[in-house]
Amino acid sequence: MSTIAKRIAFHTLGCKLNFSETSTLSRDSLKYGYENVDSKEFADIYVFNTCSVTENANKETRKLIRRSKRINPNAFITLVGCYAQLKPEELTNIEDVNLVLGTEDKFELLNHLDQIDFSNDIKSSYSGPITDVKTFKPSYSSDDRTRSFLKVQDGCDYNCTFCTIPLARGKSRNASIKKTVNLAKDISRTNAKEIVLTGVNIGDFGKGTDENFYDLIQQIDNKVDIERIRISSIEPNLLTDEIIEFCFSSKKFMPHFHIPLQSGSDRMLKSMKRRYTTSLYSDRINKIKSFDQDACIGVDVIVGYPTESDEDFLETYNFLKSNDVSYLHVFTYSERENTEAIGIRPVVPHSERSRRSKILHELSDKKKSAFYEKSIGKTKPVLVEKNKNGMLFGYTDNYIKTRIQGPVSLENTIQNVLISDFKTSYVECEVLTTS
């Protein structure tokens, strides 16, 4: 390999799973003698961990490539992740792209870079069939010292009609509970105070190891010395009574659940090939609230899915309005190649998709405001995360964003606070005791 200054920049698009993987690659690069720099700075090598959930994610990748070449016209551009797996030829054909690594090869990034002669004009792509992807690479994020995203599962065996994730990440797979717990212990030896368990279909943990997610959370709870643990997102049909009950019996697991819904219409759920009904979803909400009325419940929902009528959308709206959920992540349906949904007719016009999205975003604001306002006058533990313009920000156990006036020394500590007021995107708090 010819000599090249080893300034390398990483940038992540998409989900928290990608963040955990990028962070692992970034840490590994240090062992190869690289200097990590911000992706907005001058670097010799830029690595973009891509997403392909929507067309906007694809556009963002191409925008980042152009930005990097403006910063350094001679930069070596590498793309990994879902977009790289799904469209390797499309990305390789972009003039400024040098290296494309699919799902099986992305964790070999440093080995690939180590073999490259940078004095030549390199164009390489390594992206085999997704059916060949068998390995699982545990990873965790370490960029945010207060919180770490721990990847415990990858891939998905479901066949939802709108989703490209199985095509991009392959079959469901994971490491053993023992290996996963050991990685969580590694995190506990850092400055992080909170672990967020993440994956593509986290509740499906245990494929190939004859284990399950319930056993995993018990072991992490018992064996890992960490103050807080969250579950990033879990399918409603996999969020069992015993998981819910255990979370509320634990002092470490936070009263916060993110549960994908996608539609409040059973007709739509059936068309999407989701594995539950609205009745089961409501049951999960009621089960959680039976333990804690203040528990936070986040919801994913799609608008504008093919054949979604005004009546279907109204069902979704009324379902979300009538159930005690805390906030919504609203996704406007985006056509994805090689999915079943792309062939379903009739399609919803883009203008109508936008209209429905706006309505649900407004509903989300109302839900979140009501959830935040309900906390006024209550005492909550807050993990103080960062100082901004002389004010401290963090999150309560039930995921309410807080603003606190106090010394910088409170950063990365858990404090009991009294919630005194609600602002647009956070609540005002007063520190009661110093932990």
Write out pLDDT tens, residues 158-214: 999 999 999 999 999 999 999 999 999 999 999 999 999 999 999 999 987 999 999
- Between 12-16, 255-259, 293-297, the lowest mean confidence (pLDDT) is in 12-16
Instruction: Give the sheet arrangement for strand 45-50, strand by strand.
Output: 35-37, 7-12, 45-50, 76-81, 99-101, 124-126
Is 212:243 a contact under the CB 8 Å cutoff? Answer: no
Percent of the chain residues past pLDDT 90, beyond the cut: 86
Q: Is 91 exposed, middle or buried (0-12, 13-18, 19+ CB in 10 A)?
A: buried
Is residue 145 pLDDT above 80, yes or no?
Answer: no
- Quote the pLDDT of residue 58: 83
Kind of pairing between the strands at 296-303 and 256-262: parallel
- Quote the pLDDT of residue 53: 79
| Res. 100 pLDDT band, cuts 50 70 90 | very high
Angle at 115 between CA 113 and CA 19, to 5 degrees: 20
Length of the chain: 435
CATH of range 379-433; options 2.40.50.140, 2.60.120.560, 3.40.50.300, 3.10.129.10: 2.40.50.140
Q: Where are the domains of the chain?
A: 7-132, 136-254, 379-433
- Quote the pLDDT of residue 50: 94
Is 103:132 a contact under the CB 8 Å cutoff? Answer: no
Is 116:1 a contact under the CB 8 Å cutoff? Answer: yes
Please write the tens of the pLDDT for every residue from 54-63: 778 788 999 9
- Quote the pLDDT of residue 1: 43
User: What's the mean pLDDT when you consider all of the chain?
Assistant: 94
- Give the global pTM: 0.93
- Quote the pLDDT of residue 336: 93
Q: Say which CATH topology domain 7-132 has.
A: Rossmann fold (3.40.50)
Please write the tens of the pLDDT for every residue from 348-372: 999 999 999 999 999 999 999 999 9
| Res. 313 pLDDT band, cuts 50 70 90 | very high
The amino acid sitting at 135 is T
The second-level CATH assignment, the architecture, of 136-254 is 2-Layer Sandwich (3.30)
Is residue 5 pLDDT above 60, yes or no?
Answer: no
114 Cβ neighbours under 8 A, 6+ residues apart: 1, 32
Cβ atoms within 10 Å, residue 73: 8
Is residue 3 pLDDT above 60, yes or no?
Answer: no
- Quote the pLDDT of residue 434: 58
* Alpha-helix residue ranges (DSSP H) falling in 81-192: 82-86, 88-92, 109-114, 165-169, 177-188
| Res. 72 pLDDT band, cuts 50 70 90 | very high
Average confidence (pLDDT) over 254-275: 98
Is residue 16 pLDDT above 70, yes or no?
Answer: yes
- The larger pLDDT score, comparing residue 125 to residue 153, is at 153
How far does Cα 58 stand from its chain's mean position? 17
CA atoms within 13 A on the CB side of 13: 25
| Res. 389 pLDDT band, cuts 50 70 90 | confident
Is 151:198 a contact under the CB 8 Å cutoff? Answer: yes
Angstrom distance (rounded) from CA 363 to CA 152: 33
Is 113:32 a contact under the CB 8 Å cutoff? Answer: yes
Q: Which residues of 146-169 are buried (b: 16+ CB within 10 A; e: fewer)?
A: bbbbbbbbbbbebebbbbbbbbbb
Angstrom distance (rounded) from CA 237 to CA 275: 7
In order of 42, 91, 192, 354, the CA distances from 334 in angstroms are 34, 20, 36, 11
- Quote the pLDDT of residue 2: 41
Contacts 24+ apart (CB under 8 A), 212-216: 213/238, 213/243, 214/240, 214/242, 214/243, 214/246, 215/177, 216/152, 216/177, 216/180, 216/181
